[in-house]
């Protein structure tokens, strides 16, 4: 009931499958769940109302551990050594285009995180992120009230607006903390798995300035993010339940999403040959407060995953949108990094 007191608006780009874009949640998530992870996402929104808002994201991250060989005489014994304890790195790319004026954002982000085990079940991560951001707009596609000549719009009439800057570049910085917990394993005969995480992050640290006009700049509000999720197995079954939530606060704008996926184990990994890979299917939904209901489907086949969701608009805009918000598609690959265990013989 407390959550329902907030309104759902956002200034930064966002995805409904928010758990698939760790660099938009918390840099401390870098390398926190997999040795190596790569993903692609595409989102198209408000096509039923205006020119669609389109967002594309691509990311790659991996843990930066390493091992080598120590030579003893004519024999070599393997000794695993961590290059840097718990360090992980990642790179992300975002492209966003919005509205008639094709207002755009292009962003390249580098993330680094240090993961420190607290015990055999708990760990703490701290992450930092730096981005290079380009903002742009196409003024030639915009029309202004004073360009109306009585019968129609004449784009040759000078609108009298300050259109001196159509693009600019700035740096952006983020910091975050993450707690993770895990125990048990998911098997059809036991399924006692419990995993959880919770974190907080701060985007736009310092005074990040945006400036479309030569004589005026605007400081971008810091975005505070609180997020969490868990996966727990229903014992002696093939079902996992995965609830999660996201709270975004940026100046007067607030966004709250919460919901759950129900994950079914279709097939386990083969324990001896490794030729048969696990398969899971997840269905569920999320609710973005005062904005959308989000049915979601996720298929995981071994190291690969495909997800799709759709925003059913339930805000005051539903009269114009006819409940149609936008579709979002995700592709993901996870695996072991070939750089984790580089074997070297030294004599």
According to the model, what pLDDT value does residue 187 have? 60
* Structural contact between residues 69 and 346, judged by C-beta atoms closer than 8 angstroms: yes
Average pLDDT of span 1-9: 35
The sign of the dihedral angle between the CA atoms of 15, 17, 18, 20 is negative
pLDDT tier at 50, thresholds 50, 70, 90? confident
pLDDT tier at 197, thresholds 50, 70, 90? very high
Q: Which tokens belong to 248? A: 């975004």
CATH fold label, 3-335:
Porin (2.40.160)
Average pLDDT of span 43-71: 79
* Structural contact between residues 142 and 101, judged by C-beta atoms closer than 8 angstroms: yes
pLDDT tier at 4, thresholds 50, 70, 90? very low
According to the model, what pLDDT value does residue 5 have? 36
Q: Where are the domains of the chain?
A: 3-335
Share of the chain above pLDDT 70, in %: 81
According to the model, what pLDDT value does residue 155 have? 80
* Structural contact between residues 90 and 62, judged by C-beta atoms closer than 8 angstroms: yes
> Is pLDDT at 36 greater than 70 in this prediction?
yes
Q: From residue 309, give the alpha-carbon distance in Å to each of 10, 274, 285.
A: 19, 31, 8
According to the model, what pLDDT value does residue 275 have? 57
Q: CA-to-CA distance for 108 and 92, rounded, in angstroms? A: 6
According to the model, what pLDDT value does residue 236 have? 79
What is the pLDDT of the chain when averaged over all its residues? 83
> Is pLDDT at 82 greater than 60 in this prediction?
no
Note the pLDDT tens digit of each residue in 117-132.
Answer: 898 889 999 999 999 9
Between 27 and 233, the more confident residue is 27
Average pLDDT of span 77-99: 74
Between 26 and 45, the more confident residue is 26
Note the pLDDT tens digit of each residue in 246-296.
Answer: 999 998 889 999 999 999 988 876 555 555 678 999 999 999 999 999 999
Average pLDDT of span 80-84: 44
> Is pLDDT at 149 greater than 80 in this prediction?
yes
Specify the range with the lowest mean pLDDT, choosing from 26-40, 90-104, 215-229.
215-229
> Is pLDDT at 135 greater than 70 in this prediction?
yes
Specify the range with the lowest mean pLDDT, choosing from 111-115, 206-210, 277-281.
206-210
Average pLDDT of span 298-303: 93
> Is pLDDT at 343 greater than 70 in this prediction?
no
> Is pLDDT at 67 greater than 50 in this prediction?
no
According to the model, what pLDDT value does residue 189 have? 58
From 319, 242, 235, select the one nearest 280 (Cα to Cα): 242
From 190, 333, 336, select the one nearest 265 (Cα to Cα): 190
Q: From residue 164, give the alpha-carbon distance in Å to each of 104, 119, 132, 157, 216.
A: 17, 57, 22, 17, 11
Q: Which tokens belong to 304? A: 């690969």
According to the model, what pLDDT value does residue 72 have? 38
Share of the chain above pLDDT 90, in %: 46
Between 13 and 313, the more confident residue is 313
Count the helices and strands in the chain (H runs, E runs): 2, 18
């Amino acid at each position: 009931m407390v959550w329902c007191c907030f309104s759902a608006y956002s200034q930064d780009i966002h995805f409904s499958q928010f758990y698939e874009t760790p660099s938009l949640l918390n840099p401390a998530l870098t390398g926190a769940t997999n040795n190596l992870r790569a993903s692609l996402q595409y989102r198209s929104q408000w096509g039923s109302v205006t020119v669609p808002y389109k967002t594309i994201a691509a990311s790659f991250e991996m843990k930066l551990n390493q091992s080598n060989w120590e030579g003893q005489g004519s024999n070599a014994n393997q000794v695993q050594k961590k290059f840097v304890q718990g360090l992980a790195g990642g790179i992300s790319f975002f492209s966003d285009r919005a509205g008639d004026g094709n207002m755009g954002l292009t962003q390249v982000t580098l993330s680094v995180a240090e993961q420190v085990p607290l015990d055999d079940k708990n760990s703490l991560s701290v992450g930092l992120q730096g981005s290079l951001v380009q903002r742009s707009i196409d003024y030639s596609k915009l029309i202004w009230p004073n360009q109306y000549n009585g019968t129609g719009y004449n784009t040759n009439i000078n609108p009298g607006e300050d259109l001196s800057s159509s693009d600019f570049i700035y740096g952006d910085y983020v910091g975050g903390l993450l707690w993770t917990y895990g125990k048990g394993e998911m098997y059809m005969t036991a399924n006692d798995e419990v995993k959880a995480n919770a974190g907080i992050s701060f985007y736009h640290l310092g005074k990040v300035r945006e400036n479309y006009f030569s004589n005026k700049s605007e400081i971008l509000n810091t975005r505070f993010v609180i997020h969490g999720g868990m996966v727990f197995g229903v014992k002696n079954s093939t079902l996992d339940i995965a609830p999660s939530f996201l709270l975004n606060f940026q100046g007067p704008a607030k966004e709250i999403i919460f919901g759950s996926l129900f994950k079914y184990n279709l097939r386990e990994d083969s324990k001896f040959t490794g030729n048969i890979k696990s398969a899971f299917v997840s269905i569920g939904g999320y609710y973005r407060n005062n904005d959308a209901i989000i049915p979601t489907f996720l298929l995981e086949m071994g190291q690969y995953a495909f997800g799709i969701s759709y925003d059913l608009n339930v805000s005051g805009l539903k009269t114009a949108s006819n409940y149609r918000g936008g579709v979002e598609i995700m592709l993901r690959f996870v695996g072991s990094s070939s750089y984790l265990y580089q074997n070297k013989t030294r004599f």
